[in-house]
Homo-oligomer: A and B are copies of this chain.
């Protein structure tokens, strides 16, 4: 039996990473990978392991004969084409925010809520990058001690904003080092040697959409619909990997030793936490890695039953493409049951 997988938005940063991870992991049963993108990119080639894929134009007929489609093409394309694909029996795993909070669409992080995948009716949502890496660390702590509140300050790399953002950080940094000011175009403010405390647009409550994604998606994935979660999302001049300074309050007291132990046992998590040896996660060390790394685990001095930690993950992998491929693997494994 042949299983055909399409990557929609294959020429984008995440789309290319999806193709690369599919080539690397070769999900059991997958026989063919099809690359789809807008007409502008049609005919271009993207790497697929040692091979390449030729990009075809996305249209309504693209999903004929396709079993699974990994979308990373933004909300508008997802809104238009995911239902088309689903109507043809293709299961869509969409990386945009468009379907994530739809009650009929599972929002899945395989290490956290794998069973949610069963309820799909053709479309499954892949979470926001900052949320995915957060919930794999929160979930074992939730199970061990319960969660009363979560507060997060993010340090997000520019790759989350796509290829042109990577280019802007590079060329602006180069200009600055040569004493030349380059006007920002992708970002609203200079990003080289700077910070921008805004990701996505602002909502009426003073939070950005990115920050509210962390709040709402964390609740949905953890199955805690009223969990108080507040985020401050900040863009930093880093190419790849998002970092998060997290403070939580648990229902039950949990010691640092016990927290470290449950995190060491948690799937998808690696504990890098040996301050005396200056061991803790950094974005450059985590780029290209599958795991979310956690360190700086300590008592939160500002609240009872509080813990602080620092977690870092590759936003293109666990934060996007890897998680989508893991969902595909879940679906393929279920198919054989």
Contacts and interface: CB of A to CB of B under 8 A. Distances in A.
A239 B301 contact: no
A282 B306 CA distance: 30
B153 A245 contact: yes
A229 B194 contact: no
B296 A197 contact: yes
Given A195-B283, A300-B151, A202 B275 contact: yes
A299 interface: yes
- Work out how many copies of this chain go into the complex: 2
A319 to B, nearest CB: 16
Interface in A288-311: 295-303, 306, 308, 310
Nearest to A197: B310
A219 B234 CA distance: 27
A243 interface: yes
A315 to B, nearest CB: 13
15 contacts: A151-B247, A173-B193, A190-B282, A193-B238, A193-B239, A194-B282, A195-B238, A202-B275, A228-B301, A229-B302, A230-B302, A230-B306, A230-B308, A237-B237, A247-B247
Contacts of A230: 247, 300-303, 306, 308
Closest 10 A/B residue pairs (Cβ): A206-B298, A153-B153, A230-B302, A153-B245, A202-B275, A230-B301, A232-B245, A228-B302, A194-B284, A149-B302
Interface string A182-201: 00000011100111111000
A236 B195 CA distance: 9
Contacts of A149: 302-303
A276 interface: yes
Contact of A173 (B153, B177, B205, B300): B177
A262 to B, nearest CB: 17
B301 A215 contact: yes
Contacts of A280: 197-198
Interface string A234-265: 10111100010101000000001000000000
A310 B245 contact: no
Chain B CB within 10 Å, residue with most, of A206, A247, A285, A298: A206
A120 interface: no
A132 interface: no
A52 B95 CA distance: 59
Given A195-B243, A230-B306, A284-B190, A205 B153 contact: no
Given A153-B153, A230-B302, A301-B207, A193 B284 contact: yes
Contacts of A247: 151, 230, 232, 247
Interface in A161-181: 169-170, 173-174, 177
A149 B197 CA distance: 23
A2 interface: no
Contact of A282 (B153, B197, B298): B197
